[in-house]
């Protein structure tokens, strides 16, 4: 049964991640009065890259070759630790820990930054240095925000976190709302979207995440893009099921799973529409102003933590 759930959840992330990206692009185009690409375009892009020739720099070491696999594996491993449509997954019940998810994501980002430096490209090194700076500023805000549900649940276990968030009273707490705002802003920065970064541009002076991808072609680039799409879906799942866990199936029955799947897709539609709305309303920040956005996430997280102690009687 555990192996079955592991396969189902892995297949769900792999199949759904490109569709979520396509939906965000389509929603963004609609809000901007454009037709936009087909919602299935990310699938076509992955297939096209998978059949392209792979070219590797002569100065690259094993890090360049291993980084796409490590990023893909760590991202997928973190994804299967989170509940998507059911609370009955044995993998999530036994090994699910929010700190493990954070460490797995950080490991993938670390090797990707190394790969940007490894090829000896000026743009790759620039992207890696910028990514490291933003990660150093972003992670404190994420930890501060997630400390609120952790303190409420009394554990870093995802099972306990979801169980604590199921209480309707928790949702209305100021600390919970502030933490939710901080995590949503962190999701924008973590997925490299406007206003922190623009995933649709490759301008040398403004690129951050894209700079580390410039030396990749063919299947390694397909794996990297797929891993980024899974990571985006993972971050949205954290917001959807850690702060709004209603709708998750308590028992693995077909009717319950079908209803939970519909609720999960509804949450993704709302969150993806929110990201598209933010990208349509705001312009990309200048690079030297991006740290201010990340400090705002830390400030919100700190406010959430302080509020949690001020209103601890309500917990």
Q: What is the pLDDT of residues 135-148, one digit of tens each?
A: 888 888 888 888 88
For residue 314, pLDDT over 80 is answered with no
Spatial CB neighbours of 222, under 8 Å, sequence gap ≥ 6:
46, 49, 50
Residue 192's region, left for phi above 0, alpha for psi from -120 to 50, else beta, is left
Q: Write down the pTM of the prediction.
A: 0.88
Q: Which residues pair with 157 in a beta bridge?
A: 97
**Number of domains observed in the structure of the chain:** 1
Structural domain of residue 265, as residue ranges?
A: 2-314
Alpha-carbon distance of 53 to 46, in angstroms, equals 13
Spatial CB neighbours of 236, under 8 Å, sequence gap ≥ 6:
20, 187, 267, 268, 271, 272
Q: What is the pLDDT of residues 15-55, one digit of tens each?
A: 999 999 999 999 999 988 888 889 999 999 999 999 998 88
At residue 93 the predicted structure's pLDDT band, cuts being 50, 70 and 90, is low
pLDDT at 312 (0 to 100): 61
* Backbone phi and psi for residue 57, each to the nearest 5 degrees, phi listed first: -65, 145
């Amino acid at each position: 049964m555990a192996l079955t759930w592991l396969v189902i959840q892995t297949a769900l992330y792999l199949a759904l991640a490109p569709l979520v990206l396509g939906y965000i692009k389509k929603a963004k185009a609609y809000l901007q009065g454009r037709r936009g690409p087909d919602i299935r375009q990310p699938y076509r892009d992955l297939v096209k890259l998978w059949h392209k020739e792979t070219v590797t720099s002569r100065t690259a070491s094993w890090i360049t070759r291993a980084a796409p696999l490590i990023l893909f594996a760590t991202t997928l491993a973190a994804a299967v630790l989170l509940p998507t449509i059911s609370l009955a997954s044995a993998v999530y019940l036994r090994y699910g820990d929010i700190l493990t998810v954070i460490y797995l994501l950080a490991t993938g980002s670390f090797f990707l930054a190394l790969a940007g430096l490894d090829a000896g490209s000026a743009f790759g090194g620039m992207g890696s240095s910028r990514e490291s700076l933003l990660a150093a500023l972003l992670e404190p805000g994420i930890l501060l925000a997630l400390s609120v549900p952790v303190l409420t649940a009394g554990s870093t276990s995802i099972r306990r976190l979801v169980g604590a968030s199921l209480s309707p009273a928790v949702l209305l707490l100021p600390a919970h709302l502030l933490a939710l705002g901080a995590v949503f802003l962190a999701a924008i920065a973590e997925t490299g979207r406007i206003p922190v970064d623009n995933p649709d541009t490759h301008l040398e002076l403004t690129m951050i995440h894209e700079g580390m991808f410039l030396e990749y072609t063919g299947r390694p680039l397909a794996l990297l893009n797929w891993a980024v799409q899974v990571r985006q879906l993972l971050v949205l799942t954290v917001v959807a099921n850690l702060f709004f866990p209603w709708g998750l199936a308590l028992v693995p029955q077909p009717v319950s799973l079908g209803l939970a799947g519909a609720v999960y897709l509804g949450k993704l539609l709302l969150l993806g529409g929110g990201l598209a709305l933010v990208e349509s309303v705001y312009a990309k920040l200048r690079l030297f102003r991006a740290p201010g956005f990340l400090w705002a996430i830390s400030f919100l997280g700190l406010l959430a933590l302080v509020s949690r102690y001020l209103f601890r009687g309500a917990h």
